[in-house]
Chain A
Amino acid sequence: MKKILLVCNDGMSTGFLTNKMNEYIQSQGLDYEVRAISEMTLDREWENSDCILLGPQIGYLKDSIVSRIHNARPVEVISPIDYGRINAKGVVNQALKMLGDL
């Protein structure tokens, strides 16, 4: 199972999106796991993931996060509109593209 990591300031606002994404993944019979974490815990969590999506409110940290994980995982910022509208399908598709599965 591939693991998708959502990162935001406190891991709280992405938490809601995470639930919706996991529901969507189950309904589609896909084999992925989505987790939300706080940016603070990224350093000990990133190795246990296959791709990393950032909440747009910490999008400005993308460069520093890429270097913190030594560019070892693909990192993208979630599209603000998908994020705001809690568009689980859109964000799952974004992750699948990053993983090369779509």
Chain B
Amino acid sequence: MSSKKDLIINKVNGIAQVMAKQIYFRAMRDAFAMVVPFLVLTGFVILINNVVLDPAGFMSNYVKVETLQTAQILGTKITNGTMNILSLLVVILISYSLSVTRKAKNVIIPVVVAVSCMVILMPTTIGITPIGATEAVEVSGVIPFSLTNAGGMFVAIFTGILATELFIKLSRIEKLQIKLSGNVPGAIVSSFNSLISVMLTLCIFAIISFVLVITTGYEINEIIVNIIQAPLVHLTTSLPGFLVLCMFTNLLFFFGIHAGGIVNPILEPPLLVAMQQNVEAFAAKATIPNIIVLPFRDLYGHIGGTGSTIALLIVIFIWSKRREHKQFANMVIPTSIFNINEPIVFGFPILFNPFMLIPFVFGPLVLFVIAYAATYLGLVSPIVAYVPWSVPPLINGWLASGGDFRNVILQLVLIIIQVIIYLPFLKMYERSLDIIDEENAKEAIKE
């Protein structure tokens, strides 16, 4: 039995190790972790601008419409510096993280090279529709937010990785380094050292982009968006694709492995793109395009952490017959409120507990289907604001929906359903523990 268990542990650990060694996954994960404050601020500002300061909303009864519109400018300035340049932030952060991992001599140089390359890849003329006009006009000399917001996410990921790798490779070729002799300050030496590799990297990106436009008529941005970004967003925001990826997340955690470096780099970037599409549609008062976005997972299937273990705690409080389980549940409440449930996974334990496999891994998938249906039927609001995973349940539902209490009610219903799913399995688990206790007691008497 235990040797079989060890075999599974080794297998799963092996796969996890291979995935985690993907340094590009690491770079992406680090970048998305560092960009969170910008996303949270965007979420707050969008809510204030479009719920509180809405010129057609409740505040217009007390304040002049013009005053509300003026006040919105403050928020718009903030969204310009966060949401609207998200891809620029991502290209910087990915390049930075990768350069640190690759132990680049002077990290700032590959970072600015990557930013430069990202702008090189952009089209030289843009079709823009002026305010009040109906037809687009071609203009040059501008970068529209549509290329620097979440729409450019995958261009940023690719440029961040490729430009940084190319530059670091080139900068390590001895023959391309210009050696200065004599008494020259260090900063000048390092900028001369990388002179040729900087220029070469930028030229290579420019030439590839140029050749693609000349031969195919498509900009590299369009190619990346159409061939990679759009299908990935489609896959992860479709219910089946999303369910499969979330099943892997739950299953890994059942084996005691955090999905952070393994599933999340595949799941999170496209779901962030989808999130920003919703935010933009909400700000523009358009139809919200996506039901599944990043916080959909945390709101409806990770209630109290992966496996929606808050429901397990409720089951224990009401129905458990074992004192140690009740004591344990008491102890882990403080972390569970913030959706941190490693103590439950390792301490209860969920880990390799055959009774917990079904409710922990598959229960949340049921919740996702119900939440999807409820949103699809318009019973609750779609998610329009980004909320980080550590915001307590119910509060996160209210915030992410733009202040809709129906979403909070949905979360309560989902918790009740998950309670019903956990209940029989907890009963079975406790019965098996009782049997073991009885046998131990019998043996103790015999001895």
Chain A residues near B (Cβ < 8 Å): 8-10, 12-13, 16, 38, 40, 43, 55-61, 63-64, 80-81, 83-86
**Contact of B125 with A by CB under 8 A:** no
A interface SS class: helix
Chain B residues near A (Cβ < 8 Å): 12-13, 16-17, 20-21, 29-30, 33, 100, 253, 256-258, 260-261, 328, 331-332, 334-335, 338, 340, 342-349, 351, 390
Question: In the complex the two chains form, what is the Cα distance from A10 to B257 in whole Å?
Answer: 14
Q: Is the CB of A16 within 8 A of B20?
A: no
For B342, give the chain A residue with the smallest CB separation: A13
Question: In the complex the two chains form, what is the Cα distance from A85 to B328 in whole Å?
Answer: 7
Q: Is the CB of B347 within 8 A of A83?
A: yes
Known contacts A16-B334, A40-B33, A56-B256; A84 and B343 CB within 8 A of each other: yes
Q: Is the CB of B348 within 8 A of A84?
A: yes
Chain A residues with Cβ below 8 Å from B332 are 86
Question: In the complex the two chains form, what is the Cα distance from A47 to B107 in whole Å?
Answer: 20
Q: Is the CB of B100 within 8 A of A61?
A: no
Q: Is the CB of B349 within 8 A of A81?
A: yes
For B324, give the chain A residue with the smallest CB separation: A85
Q: Is the CB of A84 within 8 A of B340?
A: no
Q: Is the CB of A63 within 8 A of B17?
A: yes
Q: Is the CB of B253 within 8 A of A57?
A: yes
Q: Is the CB of A56 within 8 A of B346?
A: yes
Q: Is the CB of A60 within 8 A of B343?
A: no
A64 smallest CB distance to B (angstroms): 6
Chain B residues with Cβ below 8 Å from A10 are 33, 260
Q: Is the CB of B340 within 8 A of A61?
A: no
- Across the A-B interface, give the 10 residue pairs with the lowest CB-CB distance, nearest first: A84-B347, A84-B346, A57-B258, A13-B342, A80-B346, A60-B16, A60-B13, A85-B347, A9-B260, A9-B258
Q: Is the CB of B17 within 8 A of A64?
A: yes
For A13, give the chain B residue with the smallest CB separation: B342
Question: In the complex the two chains form, what is the Cα distance from A16 to B21 in whole Å?
Answer: 28
A8, A38, A60, A84: the one within 8 Å of B344 (CB): A84
A45 smallest CB distance to B (angstroms): 13
**A-B pairs with beta carbons under 8 Å apart, 7 shown:** A16-B340, A57-B253, A58-B258, A60-B13, A64-B20, A84-B346, A85-B343
Most buried by B among A8, A61, A64: A61
Q: Is the CB of B17 within 8 A of A60?
A: yes
Q: Is the CB of A57 within 8 A of B348?
A: no
Known contacts A57-B257, A58-B258, A61-B20; A13 and B347 CB within 8 A of each other: no
For A41, give the chain B residue with the smallest CB separation: B30
Question: In the complex the two chains form, what is the Cα distance from A77 to B281 in whole Å?
Answer: 46
Question: In the complex the two chains form, what is the Cα distance from A60 to B18 in whole Å?
Answer: 10
For B331, give the chain A residue with the smallest CB separation: A86
Q: Is the CB of B256 within 8 A of A12?
A: no
Chain B residues with Cβ below 8 Å from A43 are 100
Chain B residues with Cβ below 8 Å from A9 are 258, 260-261
Question: In the complex the two chains form, what is the Cα distance from A84 to B348 in whole Å?
Answer: 7
Known contacts A59-B256, A60-B13; A8 and B21 CB within 8 A of each other: no
Q: Is the CB of A81 within 8 A of B346?
A: yes
Chain A residues with Cβ below 8 Å from B349 are 80-81, 84
Q: Is the CB of B257 within 8 A of A83?
A: no
A44 smallest CB distance to B (angstroms): 9
B17, B21, B334, B338: the one within 8 Å of A12 (CB): B338
Chain B residues with Cβ below 8 Å from A83 are 342-343, 346-347
For A59, give the chain B residue with the smallest CB separation: B256
Q: Is the CB of A84 within 8 A of B20?
A: no
A3 smallest CB distance to B (angstroms): 23
Knowing that A13-B335, A81-B347 touch, tell me 13 more A-B residue pairs with CB under 8 angstroms. A8-B258, A40-B29, A40-B33, A56-B342, A57-B342, A58-B257, A61-B17, A80-B349, A83-B342, A84-B343, A84-B345, A84-B348, A86-B331
Q: Is the CB of A60 within 8 A of B20?
A: yes
Q: Is the CB of B342 within 8 A of A60?
A: no
Chain B residues with Cβ below 8 Å from A59 are 13, 256-257
B332 smallest CB distance to A (angstroms): 8
Q: Is the CB of A57 within 8 A of B256?
A: yes
Q: Is the CB of A57 within 8 A of B328?
A: no
Question: In the complex the two chains form, what is the Cα distance from A26 to B332 in whole Å?
Answer: 23
A57 smallest CB distance to B (angstroms): 4
For A16, give the chain B residue with the smallest CB separation: B335
Q: Is the CB of B347 within 8 A of A60?
A: no
Chain B residues with Cβ below 8 Å from A84 are 342-349, 351
A67 smallest CB distance to B (angstroms): 10
Question: In the complex the two chains form, what is the Cα distance from A45 to B257 in whole Å?
Answer: 23
